[in-house]
C-alpha cells in the first residue's frame, strides 16, 4: 500500500480523508439506492444544496442519468464534488468493464469519476475456479481507466478480506476503498479491522440499516438518542464515524438529508460505542457475498 489514510479531525461532513493514492474524500456521502430516476435529479440537487459533496450511485440503481442532471442543476463546479459509481455484475471481465466505465461516464455526463467500485465480487458459488480471474480482469480494465484519467480512485464493494487478498495477487493499483454493509446489528468488526489495517477506507452502506431494518426503533438506540439529545439516525451515523467508517445515508427528504449531516456536536462514549457494536442482528440485507446468486 502506498500511503496511510490520514485520521483527521472530523468537523463536518466535508472534512477529508486522504486515500492511499493521495486523493481526498469527504467523510460523509449521500446515497441514492432505491431513488427512482424521476426523483433522483431533484434529490441530488437538494443534497448538494444542503452541503453534501460526495454522491454515491451505481449502474444498477438505474438513476445515473438523473444523478448527472441533478449534479448539473446544483450549479457547483464539478471539481468540488466527489462522484462514485459502481460496475454491475453483468459487466464483469476486461472488455465489458471497459464498456461499463465509458457508459457510466456518458450517463453521468462527466469526463471522470472520483471513485469507481466493483459492486460485488464474482464468487466461487457462481463461477467456481474462474471467480478470482474474473475479478482480476475487471480490475485490469479499471486500472487502465485509472491510468487514462477517467477514474481518480479505484475501489471495491462487498469484498471480504479473502477476496481482497486474492485480488491483490494480480492488482497493480491497490484498492483505495471497500464499501460494505455496516450498521448497528451488522458491525463487521473483523472485516473493518482488516481493511483499515491495509489502508483501505471503509465506506458503510445502509448506515441506518436500510429499508425495513429495526435500527431506528431499537430500544437501546432510542435510549442512547435520548441520552445525547439526538435522533437514532444521528447515533447510528456517529457510531460509524467514530470507527473511521464513511457513512452513505440516503434520504429523498430534505429535512432528513439535513438531519443526517448533524453529527459533529456530540461524541459517543467508548462504553456506548461498545454497547452499539454488541447489538444483535436488527435486519438489513446482511448478505454473504460468497452466497449471493446475482
Ligand X SMILES: NC(=O)c1ccc[n+]([C@@H]2O[C@H](COP(=O)([O-])OP(=O)(O)OC[C@H]3O[C@@H](n4cnc5c(N)ncnc54)[C@H](OP(=O)(O)O)[C@@H]3O)[C@@H](O)[C@H]2O)c1
Which lies closer to ligand X via its Cβ, residue 138 or residue 157? 157
Residue (of 17, 10, 13) closest to 177 by Cα position = 17
- Using CB under 6 A as the binding rule, whether residue 233 contacts ligand X is answered as yes
> Among residue numbers 164 through 183, which ones bind ligand X (CB under 6 A)?
179
- Indicate which single residue of 3, 78, 80, 253 sits in contact with ligand X (rule: CB under 6 A): 253
Near ligand X by CB under 6 A: residue from 5, 27, 40, 56? 56
String marking each residue 113-132 x if it binds ligand X according to CB under 6 A: ------x-------------
Using CB under 6 A, pick the residue from 211, 217, 269, 277 that binds ligand X: 211
Told to judge if 61 belongs to the known catalytic residues of this protein, a careful annotator would answer yes
Can you count the helices (H) and strands (E) in the chain? 11, 10
**Residue count, binding to ligand X (CB under 6 A):** 26
CB atoms within 10 A of CB 293: 6
The single residue of 17, 61, 146, 194 carrying the catalytic annotation is 61
Contact 192, 168 (CB under 8 A): no
**Cα distance between residue 52 and residue 55, in whole Å:** 7
The residue assigned the cell 479491522 is 193
Cell numbers that stand for 113 in this block: 469519476
Which helix (H) or strand (E) segment holds residue 138: the answer is helix 131-147
| Contact status, residue 48 vs residue 41, Cβ threshold 8 Å | no
Which CA distances in Å does 189 have to 60, 154, 186, 196?
A: 28, 23, 9, 11
For position 25 contacting ligand X by CB under 6 A, the verdict is no
Cβ 178 to ligand X shortest distance, Å: 10
**Single residue of 25, 205, 239, 245 touching ligand X by CB under 6 A:** 205
What's the rounded Cα separation, in Å, for the pair 161 and 156? 11
CA distances from residue 213 to 97, 135, 196, 210, 274 in whole angstroms, order as listed: 33, 31, 26, 6, 20
User: Is position 110 an interface residue for ligand X (rule: CB under 6 A)?
Assistant: no
- Was 188 annotated as part of a binding site? no
Q: Give the nearest distance from C-beta 101 to ligand X in angstroms.
A: 17
The HSE-up count of residue 23 (CA atoms within 13 Å, CB side) is 22
**Residue 68 found at the interface with ligand X (CB under 6 A):** no
Provide, rounded to whole angstroms, the least separation between the CB of residue 248 and ligand X. Answer: 4
**Smallest separation (angstroms) from ligand X to the CB of 231:** 6
Is 218 a binding residue for ligand X by CB under 6 A? The answer is: no
Assess 249 for contact with ligand X (CB under 6 A). yes
Positions at the binding site for substrate: 119
Q: Which residues bind ligand X (CB under 6 A)?
A: 31-33, 56, 119, 157-158, 179, 205-211, 216, 233, 248-253, 256, 259-260
Query: What positions carry a catalytic annotation?
Result: 61
Amino acid at each position: 500500500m502506498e500511503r496511510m489514510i490520514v485520521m483527521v479531525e472530523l468537523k463536518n461532513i466535508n472534512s477529508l480523508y486522504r486515500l492511499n493514492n493521495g486523493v481526498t474524500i469527504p467523510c460523509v456521502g449521500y446515497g441514492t439506492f432505491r431513488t427512482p430516476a424521476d426523483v433522483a435529479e431533484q434529490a441530488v440537487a437538494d443534497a448538494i444544496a444542503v452541503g453534501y459533496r460526495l454522491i454515491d450511485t451505481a449502474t444498477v440503481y438505474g438513476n445515473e442519468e438523473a444523478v448527472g442532471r441533478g449534479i448539473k442543476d446544483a450549479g457547483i463546479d464539478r471539481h468540488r464534488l466527489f462522484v462514485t459509481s459502481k460496475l454491475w455484475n453483468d459487466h464483469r471481465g476486461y472488455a465489458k468493464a471497459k464498456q461499463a466505465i465509458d457508459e457510466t461516464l456518458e450517463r453521468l455526463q462527466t469526463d471522470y469519476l472520483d471513485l469507481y467500485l466493483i459492486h460485488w465480487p464474482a464468487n466461487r458459488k457462481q463461477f467456481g475456479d474462474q471467480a478470482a480471474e474474473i475479478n482480476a480482469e475487471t480490475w485490469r480494465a479499471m486500472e487502465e481507466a485509472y491510468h487514462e484519467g477517467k477514474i481518480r480512485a479505484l475501489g471495491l464493494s462487498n469484498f471480504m478480506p479473502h477476496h481482497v487478498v486474492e485480488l491483490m495477487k494480480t492488482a497493480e493499483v491497490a484498492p483505495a476503498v471497500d464499501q460494505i454493509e455496516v450498521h448497528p446489528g451488522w458491525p463487521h468488526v473483523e472485516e473493518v479491522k482488516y481493511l483499515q489495517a491495509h489502508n483501505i477506507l471503509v465506506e458503510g452502506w445502509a448506515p441506518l440499516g436500510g429499508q425495513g431494518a429495526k435500527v431506528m426503533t431499537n430500544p437501546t438506540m432510542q435510549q442512547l438518542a435520548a441520552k445525547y439529545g439526538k435522533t437514532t439516525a444521528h447515533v447510528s451515523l456517529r457510531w460509524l464515524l467514530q470507527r473511521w467508517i464513511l457513512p452513505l445515508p440516503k434520504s429523498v427528504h430534505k429535512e432528513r438529508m439535513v438531519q443526517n449531516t448533524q453529527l459533529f456536536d456530540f461524541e459517543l462514549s467508548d462504553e456506548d460505542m461498545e454497547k452499539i457494536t454488541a447489538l444483535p442482528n436488527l435486519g438489513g440485507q446482511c448478505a454473504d457475498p460468497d452466497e449471493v446468486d446475482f
